[in-house]
Structure formats: structure tokens, C-alpha cells
């Protein structure tokens, strides 16, 4: 209690949400100052899952750092690996085989769908709707099967390598991947209708937790959350990498103007549909390519030349940046990671004040973050 007593007027109460809470996708603590049922101030307290990944990068060579890179956002492991190897390849001036470029694009979009399905199922659960998460996990399993078959991993794929990918596809894999994408697309209507057609869900999310475009820019918010506030920015279109420059006719950058919880959910849902279309386009292109390598032959000891570079990617949750500094050794001198969730969660200090405690979970869940991605 902060004030002169429980019976006095205008007494503020400090309430700790967490550090364990079911709607945070990890271990986050929110320190709220309340005036009755209304939030006066909100402070996200982070660091409970910090494991010093950036420091650990400095003690491992360029092959080994991939195992660290795919763990901070455990829902976007393939995309996390991708950013690191792109930075190293840029330092080396290395060209990646065309098949590897298209395969990376395909797997990045499948990983994006897996990430989004988790939030499309878990967000309604946080608002009291249990059914969508069963549908979401059913569809996730179909894509998990093909991702596990190609990489050997279900969560931490370890499939990217400097210079390409670990190995070529199993026989018949593209056909099974195409069938999985078609199945997921055919069943997405169940989530569309069940959630967006629910008047209770719309009542809990429409007009709640509106984030202004100015706040998006001020806090560096990106991804579906930023685009839901009308900030039309997507690296896949605006600064293309991999094969996205050739997918301009398929890639659709989904935006909304409202910036509320409902707009964020709609952006995530519509972006999932578009990622399935992108996956199909990649499969079509792979079918046209002649057989060829999916990686470059590397020296036994891989050393990046002295210098520095910055690579960034449009990860499922937003922009990830990788600032790599090399002293010409086999390990990075410095690898600074800019994770999407870290910036996105800071906006809670602006979003939560003035709202009711009952709306706190609705706002928190709509920010679509992974706490390991915040803490690194």
C-alpha cells in the first residue's frame, strides 16, 4: 500500500502481476499502480529469463552460435537462425545457391505460420475461449510434421548453415509440404469464424488498448503490432532479402488503422493467410529449379574478415537486427541482437495507464511477445 490508509480516498495500490502469469508466454512481471480498478502507471519488469546470449556468442565460433540464436524466441527458431547466418554471409561476401535461397524463404514463411497460429489460439484462451487453441494446435501439427521431417527438430531446427542449409530435402518432401499448406488453409476458416465471429471476443478487444502511430515510432514497435496502428512497414517488401524481391505479386503487407487489440489480432490472422500463399509460391518456384546444391563448401575453420555489418529481418513478431563485429577470428568479437519483443513490450508503459485491470490481460495478450525474446 502507498498512501495514508485503506479507507482514505485516492489511495493507490501497487499490484504485481507475475513474475509468473499465464498470459505472458514466459516469465514477465508487471508492476501496476492502481487507483481503484483503473491503472495509473505500469512498469514491465524484465530479466527473469536472461541468459546472456550476446556474451555467449563471443565464446563460440560461427557454426556454434546458431544453437544460441534460435532459442530466444522459441516460436520463431528458423527465422532467428536466418538473421545470424545472413549477417555472417554478408561479412564473408558469400553467395548462397539459388535453391537454398528459395528453401530458406519457404521455411521462414512456414515458421511464421507456426508462430502466428500459437498466438491465434492462445489469445482467445486468455480471454476465456478455450476452443480456438485446440484448432490452432491441430493445424500447427500438420506443419510441424513437415518441418521436423526436413530438419530433424520440432522446436529448435538447427537447419540453417553459413552458406546455405544443412542438407537437401528428403524425397517427396515438397509434395507433403504442399499438402500440409493446403490442409491448414482449408481449416483456417474455423479460427476466422470462431474468434472474429464471436461478439464477446469483439466486445473485449474493439477499442481497447489503442496504440498510436506516434507511439509505434517512439518505442520502435514493429511487426503485426506496428502495422495494426497504420505503420505500413515490412522489410520483406521495403528492403527485400532472400527471395522476397521476386514475390512482390504474392506478398501482401497487412495493415489496420485502429491500433486496438482487435486490429492486432486481425493483422496476425490475415498475415497467416498471406504466409500460406507465399509458401505455395516458393514451392512452385522450387519445382521449376533444376537439381543443385543447397550450401557452400566451407573451410574447416571459418573466420570472418575484420570489420562490422548489420543485417535485419522481418521476423514473425517484428524486426530483428544483428550487428556483427569481427576482429578476423573464428568467433564474433561482438554480436548485438535487436529483438522485436524487447521494443514491443516497452509500449505497455504507454498502453496500460488509464485502462481497467479487466482489460489488462486483453492488452497484454495482444502484444504478441515471447519473454525469452525480450530477455535474450
Instruction: Read off φ and ψ for residue 91, nearest 5 degrees.
Output: -65, -40
What confidence score (pLDDT) does residue 24 get? Answer: 58
What confidence score (pLDDT) does residue 25 get? Answer: 67
pLDDT in tens, 31-74: 999 888 899 999 988 888 888 888 999 999 998 899 888 888 88
pLDDT band at 22 (very low <50, low <70, confident <90, very high): low
Q: How many CA atoms lie within 13 A of 170 on its CB side?
A: 12
Set of cell numbers at residue 49: 529469463
Calculate what percentage of the chain has a pLDDT beyond 90: 62
Average pLDDT, the chain: 89
Rounded Cα gap, residues 124 and 194, in angstroms? 10
- Domain for residue 188, yes or no? yes
Helix residue ranges per DSSP H, 239-318? 261-288
Q: How many folded domains does the chain comprise? A: 1
**Number of Cβ within a 10 Å radius of residue 204:** 20
pLDDT for 367 beyond 80: yes
Average pLDDT over residues 193-205: 89
What confidence score (pLDDT) does residue 11 get? Answer: 63
Rounded Cα gap, residues 358 and 369, in angstroms? 20
pLDDT for 275 beyond 60: yes
CATH of the domain at 240: 1.10.645.10
Residue 200's contacts (CB-CB under 8 Å, 6 or more residues apart) are 127, 128, 129
Q: What is the CA radius of gyration of the chain?
A: 21
pLDDT for 287 beyond 70: yes
Rounded Cα gap, residues 331 and 302, in angstroms? 9
Are 324 and 87 spatial neighbours (Cβ–Cβ below 8 Å)?
yes
pLDDT band at 20 (very low <50, low <70, confident <90, very high): low
Are 142 and 134 spatial neighbours (Cβ–Cβ below 8 Å)?
no
Average pLDDT over residues 26-32: 84
Strands, E, within 104-217: which ranges? 160-161, 164-165
What confidence score (pLDDT) does residue 36 get? Answer: 85
- Domain for residue 2, yes or no? no
What confidence score (pLDDT) does residue 13 get? Answer: 86
pLDDT for 316 beyond 90: yes
pLDDT band at 17 (very low <50, low <70, confident <90, very high): confident
Q: Which has more confidence, 283 or 50?
A: 283
Are 314 and 112 spatial neighbours (Cβ–Cβ below 8 Å)?
no
DSSP letters of 14-63? Answer: EEEE-SS-TTSSS--EEEEEEETTEEEEEEEE--TT---HHHHHTTS-TT
- Domain for residue 336, yes or no? yes
DSSP letters of 188-220? Answer: HHHHIIIIIT-HHHHHHHTTSS---HHHHHHHT
Residue 294's contacts (CB-CB under 8 Å, 6 or more residues apart) are 97, 99, 100, 103, 164, 165, 167, 168
- 350 CB burial (10 A radius; 0-12, 13-18, 19+): middle
Q: 118-155 burial string, b = 16+ CB within 10 Å, else e?
A: bbbbbbbbbbebeebbebbeebbebbbebbeebbeeee
Q: Which domain holds residue 55?
A: 13-374
Residue 231's contacts (CB-CB under 8 Å, 6 or more residues apart) are 213, 216, 217, 221, 255
- Domain for residue 178, yes or no? yes
195-203 long-range CB contacts below 8 Å, 24 or more apart? 195/120, 195/124, 195/129, 195/132, 195/265, 195/269, 196/265, 196/266, 196/269, 198/124, 198/129, 200/127, 200/128, 200/129, 201/124, 201/127, 201/129, 202/262
- Domain for residue 5, yes or no? no
- Domain for residue 270, yes or no? yes
- 5 CB burial (10 A radius; 0-12, 13-18, 19+): exposed
- Domain for residue 7, yes or no? no
- Domain for residue 200, yes or no? yes
pLDDT in tens, 79-129: 999 999 999 999 999 999 999 999 999 999 999 999 999 999 988 988 888
Are 112 and 128 spatial neighbours (Cβ–Cβ below 8 Å)?
no
What confidence score (pLDDT) does residue 324 get? Answer: 94
What confidence score (pLDDT) does residue 3 get? Answer: 47
Compute the residue count for the chain.
376
CA 316 from chain center: how many Å? 3
Amino acid at each position: 500500500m502507498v498512501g495514508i490508509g485503506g479507507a482514505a480516498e485516492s489511495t493507490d495500490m501497487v499490484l504485481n502481476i507475475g513474475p509468473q502469469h499465464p498470459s505472458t508466454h514466459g516469465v514477465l512481471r508487471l508492476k501496476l499502480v492502481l487507483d481503484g480498478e483503473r491503472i495509473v502507471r505500469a512498469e514491465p519488469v524484465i530479466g527473469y529469463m536472461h541468459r546472456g546470449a550476446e556474451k555467449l556468442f563471443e565464446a563460440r565460433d560461427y557454426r556454434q552460435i546458431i544453437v544460441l540464436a534460435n532459442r530466444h524466441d522459441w516460436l520463431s527458431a528458423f527465422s532467428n537462425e536466418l538473421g545470424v547466418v545472413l549477417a555472417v554471409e554478408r561479412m564473408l561476401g558469400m553467395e548462397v545457391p539459388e535453391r537454398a535461397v528459395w528453401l530458406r524463404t519457404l521455411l521462414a514463411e512456414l515458421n511464421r505460420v507456426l508462430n502466428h497460429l500459437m498466438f491465434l489460439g492462445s489469445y482467445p484462451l486468455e480471454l476465456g475461449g478455450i476452443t480456438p487453441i485446440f484448432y490452432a494446435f491441430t493445424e500447427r501439427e500438420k506443419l510441424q510434421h513437415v518441418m521436423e521431417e526436413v530438419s530433424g527438430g520440432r522446436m529448435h531446427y538447427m537447419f540453417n548453415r553459413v552458406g546455405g542449409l544443412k542438407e537437401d530435402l528428403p524425397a517427396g518432401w515438397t509434395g507433403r509440404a504442399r499438402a500440409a499448406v493446403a490442409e491448414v488453409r482449408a481449416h483456417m476458416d474455423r479460427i476466422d469464424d470462431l474468434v472474429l465471429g464471436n461478439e464477446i471476443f469483439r466486445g473485449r478487444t474493439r477499442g481497447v488498448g489503442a496504440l498510436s502511430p506516434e507511439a509505434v515510432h517512439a518505442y520502435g514497435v514493429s511487426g503485426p503490432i506496428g502495422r495494426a496502428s497504420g505503420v505500413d512497414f515490412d522489410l520483406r517488401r521495403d528492403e527485400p532479402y532472400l527471395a522476397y524481391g521476386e514475390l512482390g505479386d504474392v506478398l501482401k503487407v497487412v495493415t489496420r488503422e485502429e491500433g486496438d487489440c482487435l486490429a492486432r489480432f486481425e493483422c496476425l490472422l490475415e498475415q497467416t493467410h498471406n504466409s500460406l500463399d507465399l509458401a505455395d509460391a516458393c514451392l512452385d518456384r522450387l519445382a521449376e529449379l533444376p537439381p543443385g546444391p543447397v550450401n557452400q563448401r566451407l573451410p574447416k575453420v571459418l573466420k570472418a574478415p575484420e570489420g562490422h555489418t548489420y543485417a535485419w529481418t522481418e521476423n514473425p513478431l517484428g524486426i530483428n537486427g544483428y550487428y556483427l563485429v569481427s576482429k578476423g577470428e573464428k568467433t564474433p568479437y561482438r554480436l548485438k541482437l535487436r529483438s522485436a519483443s524487447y521494443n514491443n513490450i516497452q509500449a505497455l508503459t504507454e498502453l496500460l495507464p488509464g485502462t481497467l485491470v479487466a482489460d489488462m490481460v486483453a492488452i497484454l495478450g495482444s502484444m504478441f511477445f515471447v519473454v525469452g525474446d525480450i530477455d535474450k
